[in-house]
Structure 1
Amino acid sequence: MKKILLTAFFIGTFSLSYAQSDYYNDYRRSITDINWQRVVTDLVLSAAQANQIYALNDRYHDYNTWNRVYVVEPGRWRDDRYSELERILGREKYILFKKKYYRGQNPVIVYGRNKNDYKKYRKQQEKYYKERSKYYKKQHNHHDHDDWD
């Protein structure tokens, strides 16, 4: 029995750390996929804005520093990062940034295609439709009985 519990523990730990590293890899790609010096030039950013962006990009220089913040909710990095980026750039330049570097999509969505997020979304969607169909069946049955009164 101890071997089974120990094996389950290691599998659970491994799969959790694997999921965490997927999120961290997305985080790193959100920084390395873009030439930030070009962003600064294209959007005509001030020296202060450029420094804030570089500081934002260097905030979590390795997995351990990132994981200390996002261990409980790893997908939160996207909202945190891009709301901070929007604050630095300002609304208008942030929209230009999205159009040019993310083809108009929200960067949170671009780096939100993590397989774990998809599974979570699907599970929530299935639950929603199951509850909705129960509600409609109940309503439909209720109305059928009203006709007999």
Structure 2
Amino acid sequence: MATSQKVLTVNIVTPDGLVYDHHATMLVACAVDGDLGIMANHEPIIAPLKIGEVRVKRTDNPDHEDAVAVNGGFLEVNDNVASIVADSAERARDIDLKRAETARERAEKKIKVAEAQHDIDEVQRAQVALNRAINRINVSKHRRF
């Protein structure tokens, strides 16, 4: 695809609906195999995402970057549109930090109890909850450039 367009449309959708939709010069997402940087005119790609931060450098303000906590899903890039279909996602400005910290504490306690009971399945579930809470905490503290 050889075009001169320098704008990438980024949208993030969850089962609850559209979470994010903006034009960007660059997108960085946490794929299972490592971070991906996507700019306009990128070759088509589909990649599974892990729990992590998605950063979007917006076109309307070159010094502005949005952060979104994404909890798994898939990224598809095609024709200057980057679509993320996520299990759940939350913009940094919408994250309730106190709620995220409470979720982290709850998950840490569940891990300790499950380890004491040698319940491997419960340890894994609690670890996922802990990773999601930590991701939300980190993204909520993200400072814009």
Question: Normalising by the residue count of structure 2, what TM-score does the alignment of the two structures yield?
Answer: 0.24
Question: Normalising by the residue count of structure 1, what TM-score does the alignment of the two structures yield?
Answer: 0.24
Larger RCO, structure (CA 8 Å, separation 6 or more): 1
- Greater helix proportion: 1
Larger Rg: 1
- Greater strand proportion: 2
